[in-house]
Amino acid sequence: MGWNVAASCVALGAAAFAARYFVRSGSAVVRSKVACNCGKVTGEICANSRDVLVIKCFCNSCQDYANHVAAKKDAAKVILDEEGGSHIVQVCKTDLVVHSGIDQLHPCRVSECSFALFRFYAKCCGTPMFNTAPGVGFVGVPATVVQDIDKFPSPGFVFVEEAVKEPSRPNSSGVGPAFVYNFIRYLPYKTCGPQFPYEKEVEYYR
């Protein structure tokens, strides 16, 4: 009985994955330039719309990071809204190109825990730029540096229990299944894309 249930779950999962992949093949491509506030760090997102996950994250770690960088440069303050949310466009590493200024990127982390993301900001002007890690296949890009953010879907909300105040949710989308699908699909590409400077001395916040 147990094996039958397990086999059914695997079959359903495979069918769902195949259906999602089929729908993805007919989806539009979204493009947008990205740049820090002073223009030294530039790049571009070019992704299948089905491969993009847009979120607004209210977690304490995102808030602490923004405040940490804001203490150095006022530019960081703009990534948090009045409710404490960070609007993030998450794409596969292969869907992001950094054209210039990768040497300006400096890493921050909340801790040395292997699950803690590397959050890169531009030292030239203090702009938060990219959230990623060597063991994942995605990059989170703050909406504040995405020039054509209106081309992307409205965000799904996560960690709302840690918001500064109860967030309003106009046109917010779901996150759960899409996050799981994209997280798995991104994994094979964890060593691809921009060569982020993980080796630099890390700043720890909190």
Spatial contact of 53 and 73, defined as CB atoms under 8 Å apart: no
Neighbours of 174 (CB within 10 A): 9
Q: What is the pLDDT of residue 17?
A: 54
Is residue 1 one of the residues assigned to a domain? Answer: no
Instruction: Look at residue 14 and tell me whether its pLDDT is greater than 60.
Output: no
Which residue in 128, 170, 172 sits closest to 146, CA to CA?
128
Amino acid at position 152, single letter = F
Q: Find the CATH number of the domain harbouring 62.
A: 2.170.150.70
Domain that holds residue 53: 29-204
Neighbour tally for 148: CB within 10 Å: 12
Does some domain include residue 20?
no
Distances (CA, A) of 166 to 157, 176, 188: 12, 20, 37
Question: pLDDT tens digits for 32-51?
Answer: 999 999 999 999 999 998 88
Q: Please report where in the chains the tokens 């300006």 appear, as a residue.
A: 104
Q: What are the E-state strand segments in 123-194?
A: 128-132, 138-142, 156-158
In this structure, which amino acid lies at residue 110? V
- How many residues can be counted in the chain? 206
Question: Is 11 within a domain?
Answer: no
Is there a domain that residue 153 lies in?
A: yes
- Is residue 146 domain-resident? yes
Mean pLDDT on 86-104: 97
**Has residue 2 been placed in a domain?**
no
Least confident of 75-89, 92-106, 130-144: 75-89
Identify the band that residue 61 occupies on the pLDDT scale cut at 50, 70 and 90: very high
At residue 46, the pLDDT reads 97
User: Which of the four pLDDT bands, split at 50, 70 and 90, describes residue 182?
Assistant: confident
Q: What is the mean pLDDT of residues 7-21?
A: 53
* Range from 20-34, 83-97, 121-135 carrying the lowest mean pLDDT: 20-34
CA distances from 9 to 4, 48, 184 (A): 9, 28, 17
Q: Which tens digits make up the pLDDT trace of 109-127?
A: 999 998 899 999 999 999 9
- Residue 181 reports pLDDT greater than 90: no
Asked, for residue 6, whether it belongs to a domain, the answer is no
> For the chain, how many structural domains are there in total?
1
Tokens encoding 132? 């990623």
Tell me phi and psi for residue 6, to 5 degrees: -60, -45
Phi/psi at 11 (5° precision): -65, -45
pLDDT of 155 above 70: yes
